[in-house]
């Protein structure tokens, strides 16, 4: 049994990026843990004031737990890094938070953001993960995968160096895709209607397209950032 740690910037990124894969792996007996670094709301206000949106933050944390339960995660933790302001924090401070969770969980595989997403927090998260998971003696992490997040990965500037080019596909069933959609719908403040990239219709279409890329009916796609065999 593998232990997977999903490290995401904001509530819902973990579901958008690998919700169907988590559902499949949990069903196969793997242990899934989720770490969400940022609170996910305060960038919508003119000034950051968590106290002014305390009720909304608590509701979002509750949604995280509901979504995690749908995909079969063993745990989900939400930290308080400032939404869309990760670049205002020393990278080392983010690395320390990732390292703390990694020591507690001792994952064999880590899933996180693509390094060129439009969202700055996603980019900082990837940098922190790669630093925290550097391959030192005794390191438990043997594989690091990056996922795509609809409404961020595809919205970046279309430069060749920024492209998300998947090198690993996880076959998933229609039931896994529907679990992903149900988990996304648990996010009352984050779900969107069609034709938004986060809508159920768009998520089903992406799963079909990634399946078509690898000869499957449905799949989720990843870039292999490191694999030690």
Fold of 3-227: Rossmann fold (3.40.50)
Q: Give this prediction's pTM.
A: 0.94
CB-based contacts of 158, cutoff 8 Å, min separation 6 = none
Can you list the pairs that 156-164 forms with residues at least 24 positions away whose Cβ atoms lie under 8 Å? 156/116, 156/117, 156/118, 161/116, 162/116, 163/116, 164/114, 164/116, 164/221, 164/223
Residue that is written with structure tokens 């492209």 in the block: 163
Tell me, rounded to whole angstroms, the distance of Cα 83 from its chain centroid.
Answer: 15
Widest CA span in the chain: 49
pLDDT at 32: 98
Nearest alpha carbon to residue 207 among 227, 185, 178, 165: 178
Helices (H), 43-147: 54-71, 91-105, 120-132
pLDDT at 95: 98
> What residues form DSSP beta bridges with 113?
147
Return d(Cα 54, Cα 57) in angstroms, integer.
5
pLDDT at 1: 65
81: part of which helix (H) or strand (E)? strand 75-81
CB of 128 closer than 8 Å to CB of 96: no
Residue extents of the structural domains in the chain: 3-227
pLDDT at 133: 97
Return d(Cα 59, Cα 169) in angstroms, integer.
33
pLDDT at 53: 81
Report residue 216 as tokens: 């499957």
Return d(Cα 195, Cα 20) in angstroms, integer.
20
- Give mean pLDDT in consecutive 10-residue pieces for the chain, a chain of 229 residues: 94 98 98 96 79 89 97 97 95 98 98 96 98 95 97 86 94 98 93 92 98 98 97
């Amino acid at each position: 049994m593998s232990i997977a740690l999903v490290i995401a910037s904001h509530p819902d990124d973990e579901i958008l990026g690998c919700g169907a894969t988590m559902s499949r792996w949990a069903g196969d007996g793997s242990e899934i843990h989720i770490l969400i670094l940022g609170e996910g709301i305060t960038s919508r206000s003119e000034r950051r004031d968590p106290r002014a949106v305390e009720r909304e933050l608590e509701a979002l944390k509750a949604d995280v737990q509901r979504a995690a339960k749908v995909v079969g995660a063993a745990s989900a933790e939400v930290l308080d890094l400032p939404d869309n302001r990760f670049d205002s924090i020393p990278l080392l401070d983010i690395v320390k938070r990732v390292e703390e969770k990694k020591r507690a969980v001792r994952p064999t595989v880590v899933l996180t953001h693509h390094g060129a997403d439009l969202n700055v927090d996603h980019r900082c998260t990837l940098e922190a993960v790669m630093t925290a998971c550097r391959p030192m003696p005794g390191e438990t992490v043997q594989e690091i995968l990056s996922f795509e997040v609809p409404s961020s990965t595809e919205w970046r500037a279309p430069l060749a160096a920024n492209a998300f080019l998947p090198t690993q596909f996880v076959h998933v069933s229609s039931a896994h895709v529907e679990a992903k959609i149900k988990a996304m719908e648990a996010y009352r403040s984050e779900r969107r209607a069609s034709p938004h990239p986060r809508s159920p219709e768009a998520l089903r279409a992406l799963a079909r397209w990634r399946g078509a890329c690898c000869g499957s009916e449905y799949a989720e796609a990843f870039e292999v950032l490191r694999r030690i065999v």
